[in-house]
Amino acid sequence: MRLGVDVGGTFTDVVALGADGTVSVGKVRSAPGSVPPDLWAELKRTCGGSDAQRLLVHGTTVATNALLERTGGRVVLATTAGFEDLLWLRRQDRADLYDLSAHHPAPVVAREDVIGVAERATPDGVERALTQEEIERVVGLVGGHDPDAIVVSFLFSFRFPEHELRLATALRETYSDTPVVTSYEVLPVFREYERTSTAVAEAYLRPVVSGYMERLGNEATREGIEELRVMASNGGTMRVAQARVRAAALALSGPAGGVEGARLVGSAVGMSDLLTLDMGGTSADASVILGGQPLVQTAASVGGLALSLPQVLIETVGAGGGSIAWVDRGGALRVGPRSAGATPGPAAYGQGGGEATVTDAAVVLGWLGPEHTLAGKLTLDPSLAEQAVAKVARAAQLSLERCAQGIIEIATATMVRALRTVSVERGVDPRNMTLVAFGGAGPMFVCRMAETLGMRRALVPPHAGVLSALGLAAAPEKLEFVISLHRPALELDQGDLDRPFSELERDARQELPDATLMRFADCRYEGQGYELTVHVAGAGSAIARAFHRLHDERFGHADEERTVEVVNLRLVGARGGVSVQLRAGKAGQKGEISGSRANWDALTPGTKLIGPFMLDSVGATARIEEGWRGEIHASGAVILERL
């Protein structure tokens, strides 16, 4: 039995997949900063008392929160002398193009904790040797900084790693209880700023992630979990031992599970080009799936820290069910990014919250009501929601209903902006795609968002409220390995590719025996400052053709006369994903239903619904807007089309 646990800002979602692919779901309230106390009891209930071997896949925000809240360990950085200010110089781009007072977040390593090392390599080889005396000097200096972790990052170490490895060996011998990270081991590719920043993030997070994994692993063992894995940012899972030395790969652990869940549902209904929107209690995460595969990026920033590790493309905005509505000094109505979170939560929860949220606006409009029982046996109180929204309405000089509508419209606009960022701004036309909205609140907004984007088709998946946990439970193990190359594609024959790939394949087979291995290449036109990743299915000429096609798809043009350069080679190893049996109910209402509300779980395949219509399900409520029609698919999904 495979279990998925997704810890969100307001609720923690649980999914159990039986050996036959059947799905059971559960949900408990989150506990900020710790494992929810009701989690293990809910897991047992969801498993139905089964004694089957249990694999638990966990989506965690521990790395994300540590970067955002700056709660990682103290890091000492040893770098090439003369380049101590690299993390502060960054890329010389502005934090905000039109705001001259905006600044990038400070690096997570203090300037006084950076040590210059007398050594130097160039693209052609070692220019200044690293002496034994210099190693001893640096090792002695590091101890005076009392670090929680140590980073070694030298110029051109991706090509000549000997200096990094020698210093790291000495540091590990002297400080055996302190993690030592080298940029070559974390990210052996060019661009010294991104490589150093990623290595620093790895060191910064290791003490936090290791401690969390140890505590969670001990609890899981006590509760009878046979194997524990954690979701990585690339959409695959890792074993705990692997996660401890790949802490930076967990930066987008939680949201990646939702994209995998959306991919599974898309496959079940025969749709491969999807925009996805996961709207929870605190935030909303947008992503895109093309040809049945999530779009992955290798250059991103989390909490202002550059991370050049493979990550599912995700744009997060502060628009969740708990996002707080407020009025700014100019009298304009605003929503988020501040959230009521799990405690006290929206005013309608009756847990002491007095500020109006998106959930409270939905209650005022009649989308949600006291008949909806939430996790932890919470029920919604309409009178408390009305009181909270009324305060905002008075400040904005609006009627109660117009204020509630305004809150919904602003939240919708915020999420549409995120969807445009992952699609239109990357050359992807959303109009011929399908919008998949999930999370506890997402299905209520799906038609509004699709209409704003000019889309005519949308999808609300079964188990929408816990889809991220479903994606976690079903996700395969996945690891990625990379090596720099820097060669014109047309100069590469099959042997030129097989030799470096064989090294990566050897490493992959050691860590993931029996995995399916896939070859990729990061390519660019000569002189470009960015790359596109293409599948390697032949020699360099085939790579060049694939790059031209992809460049044309993404940017609307390609120049087949220009030289295509292969910058990095990537190997992805994956194993152990499972299929999921998604089925609608066999008995219940069918045909075209009149009225304005129905129990989603009681509808059979083929049932047609004409908006405006509300669909209630365990963990989520969907709204079909006027001008839209829905039909229940055999999987239990609701396929929506604009009339």
With tokens 């976690």, the residue in question is 472
Could you give the dihedral angle defined by the CA atoms of residues 209, 214, 217 and 223, in that order, rounded to the nearest 10 degrees? Answer: -130
DSSP 8-class letter at 65: H
Helices (H), 229-340: 240-244, 253-269
Q: How far apart are CA 165 and CA 128, in angstroms?
A: 16
Residue 589: is its pLDDT beyond 80? no
C-beta of residue 206 within 8 angstroms of C-beta of residue 73? yes
Q: How far apart are CA 255 and CA 233, in angstroms?
A: 8
Q: How far apart are CA 285 and CA 563, in angstroms?
A: 37
Give pLDDT, residue 583: 79
Q: Provide the pLDDT confidence category of residue 25 given band limits of 50, 70 and 90.
A: confident
SS3 string, 168-184, reads: HHHHHHHCCCCCEEEHH
**Which residue would you say has higher pLDDT here, 93 or 342?**
93
Please state the rounded mean pLDDT for residues 583-612: 79
Give pLDDT, residue 166: 98
Q: How far apart are CA 40 and CA 352, in angstroms?
A: 26
Please state the rounded mean pLDDT for residues 409-426: 95
Most confident of 16-25, 100-109, 113-122, 569-578: 113-122
pLDDT averaged over every residue in the chain: 91
> Measuring CA to CA, how many Å separate 41 from each of 36, 69, 235?
10, 30, 27
Give pLDDT, residue 440: 85
Q: How far apart are CA 201 and CA 439, in angstroms?
A: 29
C-beta of residue 233 within 8 angstroms of C-beta of residue 202? no
- List 149's β-bridge partners, or say none: 75
Return the SS3 of 40.
helix
The CA-based angle 562-568-572, given to 5 degrees, is 125
Give pLDDT, residue 160: 96
Over residues 518-577, the pLDDT tens digits come to 999 999 999 998 899 999 999 999 999 999 999 998 888 999 999 999 999 999 999 988
Helical pair 253-269 and 467-474, crossing angle rounded to 10 deg: 90
Give pLDDT, residue 585: 63
Give pLDDT, residue 506: 95
> Measuring CA to CA, how many Å separate 513 from each of 235, 507, 508, 559, 574?
19, 10, 7, 41, 10
Q: Provide the pLDDT confidence category of residue 384 given band limits of 50, 70 and 90.
A: very high
Q: How far apart are CA 601 and CA 269, in angstroms?
A: 18
Over residues 428-469, the pLDDT tens digits come to 999 999 999 999 889 999 999 999 999 999 999 999 999 999
Over residues 167-195, the pLDDT tens digits come to 999 999 999 999 999 999 999 999 999 99
What residues contact residue 602 under an 8 Å CB cut-off, 6+ apart?
Answer: 585, 588, 589
C-beta of residue 7 within 8 angstroms of C-beta of residue 465? no
Q: Provide the pLDDT confidence category of residue 48 given band limits of 50, 70 and 90.
A: confident
CB burial string 425-460: b at 16+ within 10 A, e below: eeebebeebbbbbbbbbbbbbbbbbbbbbebbbbbb
Helices (H), 175-252: 183-186, 192-222, 240-244
Give pLDDT, residue 69: 84
Most confident of 50-64, 70-84, 367-381: 70-84
Domains observed in the chain = 1-54+226-475 (3.30.420.40), 73-199 (3.40.50), 477-575 (3.30.1490)
* Nearest one of 71, 43, 42 to 212, comparing CA atoms: 71
